[in-house]
A and B are shown apart, each in its own frame.
Chain A
Amino acid sequence: MRNVRRWGPGLLLVSPSIVLIAVFVYGLIVWNIKVSFSDWRTSVPSHKWAGLAAYRDLNSDPAWSQDLHHILLFTVTFIAGTLLVGLTLAFLLEKGVRGEGFFRSVYLFPMAVSFIAAGVVWRWLMNPAPGDRATGLNVVFDKLGVGFLANQWYLGLNWGMAAMAMPAIWALSGYIMALYLAGFRGVPEDLREAARMDGASEWRVYRHVVFPHLRPVTLSALVILGHISIKVFDLIVAIGGKQLVTQTPAVYMWILIYDAQDYAKGAAIATLLLVGISALIVPYLVYTVRAERRA
């Protein structure tokens, strides 16, 4: 208590935030988990304990396994695509070009566009209409003579969700480019000089000196992209609406709660999403805290 004057005012300043977060984030998380274990499957509230009934129901639901397939395909395509495009853009810019500020801004702008707006435009670009009704990218391919590339985009049975990841890649590669650019610039020039003096070709300089430095950047990029992609909702709704062919867990949760009024099952999906994202973020937080302690 003796040092209250030291930490007291600080605590007082953040205490409203702490209280609000405790109630509206963690309190509601606990309440949501409680609902997922309850018997509340209709419009009439019920708080009886029902154990894992909602989770078991979800597990045996064929729509849920569809959602998991969709989100897996979307996540893998999105993360791989964004990392690749972001890395390439950063690589192109890192040695310094004329008008670098302009290019950086242009590549970063898509991140400022909301997923709904991007979704509406990409929905038109990815129009799957065949033949003479084709519009969007399909008609561009046709005019460029690569008509065989025209396909069903987000409606494709097997790769539809990979096409759905394209607007997301477009939106977020600029951000990853910024991360990697900072990473590239963080490599001291004398390290590169030293490697060149030892006779390494430029490619080997990159491979053995620069890229290892980018590992922490890739890790944080993975975590950020991962948690965006697991709960993706607005992009899916803007492009695919409310139908099973493009459904993801977040969209199914929306349907269960507002259309079916199956609150326990919807809460179960919310809890599973939380667990999935925590599995990504908590180890990362532990790793960064430990790294900072060591430094």
Chain B
Amino acid sequence: MPSIQYGRPRGRITRATAARAALLTAFALLLVPAAGNARPAAIGGTQASCQLEVFSWWTGGGEAAGLAKLITIWNKNNASCQFKNETVAGGAGGNAKAVLQQRLSAHKPPDSFQGHAGAELRDYIKAKQVEPIDFIYKQYKFDKVMPKSLLSQITYNGHLYSVPVNIHRANILWYNPKVLKKAGITSVPKTWSQFIAALNKAKAADVIPLSMADQWTSDHLWETVMIATIGPARWAALWKPGADWSNAGVTLALNRFKTLLSYTNSDAASLTWQDAGKLVADGKAAFNIMGDWQDGYFSGAKAGDNLGLKPKVDYGWAPVPGTAGVYDWLSDSFTLAKGAPHRSAAVKWLAFLGSKRAQDTFNPVKGSIPARQDANPKLYGPYLKWALTQWKTNRLAGSFWHGVVAPNKWHADIDTALGLFLQTKDVKRFQSALVTAAKKDAR
């Protein structure tokens, strides 16, 4: 056995060991603050500092401005429970919904969150993530000032789960009067045949007949064509379990949709809805079918990235041909989250949202009309004044794309089927995909 020992000397803490121990300790210490931060920030409603956590996707344009006004009023009247604005940017709430899902699954809900009134909330209701708020409606008499047809469409299993703040209309035909004049279109089309005639005239005048943007705007167009072809009563019936999507009315609507698509611009999938609207405003397109947030973009101040146009001079509007007297409605609404950390403040928030003051403060800025029927028309611009009169008398048809009639899975299945149709233009396959989706997803 060799008398010289190679390697580490035994029985003493060498420099190497000390270095390793120090490194290990340093690494372990790094983990401690991470473990500390893992504790939830809000513990419960009994906290001394109350903060009303409201989750929405109102981060830009009129919506953010309207929300800011509501926050000012709230903070003035509720010094003890200030507003905590938890918004997530991203078109029509796509990103916000994803973030919200994570919070709800982690059982760390906000006090109140935004959602489109109607079937879009059904998944939250089924997962027991929202509370019924019939008591708020009764206490503050919202059921007396909001249209009964609206309330019946957002009631699920006999209960109401959200307070609608605004109403938007999806079935609006936007046009450029100068382009119509140039193309020889003498009157805004009211029927299907008039519409096709006008589109042909626009094509002959070398403008885009109907401007379109990326896929969801095709979904939007599809629902207006469906309502125009089969009418609001049969439209509502399609969304009930056991409905028949294979009938001739649907086939006719799908064929009309295919015809309209042939009049759209080839680069639609690369445009946003604002780009498509701008094509009409710039005189490069004759018509555009979009919800009435288009009015906010057209007439809003240039400082806010809007176009600053004059209503009825630089642009005009009419119901989508075939839908006069039908209000294809959608509504932004707020819910009462189950397990809300500050429940009483959340209830107060919902009561506030349904009040005349809140709705008449928010909506003129946002570019929509109140869900209440007692709005003060003097506060609203030209388009919205017209919309207010329409809201009083029109029959209601719930929007598909904007969450009134279809729950999430059905919504996604139809969108997928429509995406395939945009490529194949195969009406038979599209219709059978719609039939399959209805069978799978209607509940």
Contact = CB atoms under 8 A, between A and B. Distances in A.
B24 A128 contact: no
Interface stretch (A48-56, A170-178, A188-196, A257-265): A257-265
Contacts of A259: 94, 97, 408, 411-412, 415
Contacts of B412: 255-256, 259-260, 262
B123 A13 contact: no
B222 to A, nearest CB: 14
B270 A129 contact: yes
A258 B97 contact: yes
B316 interface: no
B413 A260 contact: yes
B262 to A, nearest CB: 15
B266 A152 contact: yes
A79 to B, nearest CB: 25
B419 interface: yes
A42 B416 CA distance: 17
A288 interface: no
B335 to A, nearest CB: 14
Given A155-B270, A258-B97, A259-B412, 4 more contacts: A5-B8, A13-B20, A13-B27, A63-B419
B408 A43 contact: yes
A269 to B, nearest CB: 13
3 closest A-B pairs by CB: A244-B419, A260-B412, A243-B215
By secondary structure, the B interface counts as: helix
Interface string A232-266: 00000000111111110000000110111110000
A154 B270 CA distance: 9
Nearest to B95: A258
A66 B420 contact: yes
A244 B267 contact: no
Interface of A: 5, 9, 12-13, 16, 41-45, 61-63, 66, 123, 127-130, 133, 152, 154-155, 157, 240-247, 255-256, 258-262
A127 B409 contact: no
A248 B266 CA distance: 22
Interface string B17-36: 10011011001100100000
Interface residues of B, number: 39
B379 interface: no
Contacts of B409: 41-42, 260-262
Nearest to B125: A43
B101 interface: yes
Contact of B215 (A13, A133, A242, A256): A242
B417 to A, nearest CB: 8
30 contacts: A9-B21, A9-B24, A13-B20, A13-B23, A13-B27, A16-B28, A41-B409, A43-B124, A43-B129, A43-B408, A45-B127, A63-B420, A127-B270, A128-B266, A129-B265, A152-B267, A157-B423, A243-B214, A244-B422, A245-B269, A255-B412, A256-B412, A258-B97, A259-B411, A259-B412, A260-B412, A260-B413, A261-B123, A261-B409, A262-B412
Most buried by A among B23, B28, B420, B433: B420
Nearest to A8: B20
B256 interface: no
A233 to B, nearest CB: 14
B263 to A, nearest CB: 15
Nearest to B102: A258
Most buried by A among B127, B129, B419: B419
B438 to A, nearest CB: 15
B284 interface: yes
B114 to A, nearest CB: 16
A44 B104 CA distance: 12
Contact of B422 (A128, A152, A245, A256): A245
B12 interface: no
A241 B214 contact: yes
A258 B101 contact: yes
B126 interface: yes
A259 B412 CA distance: 7
Nearest to B19: A9
A141 B324 CA distance: 46
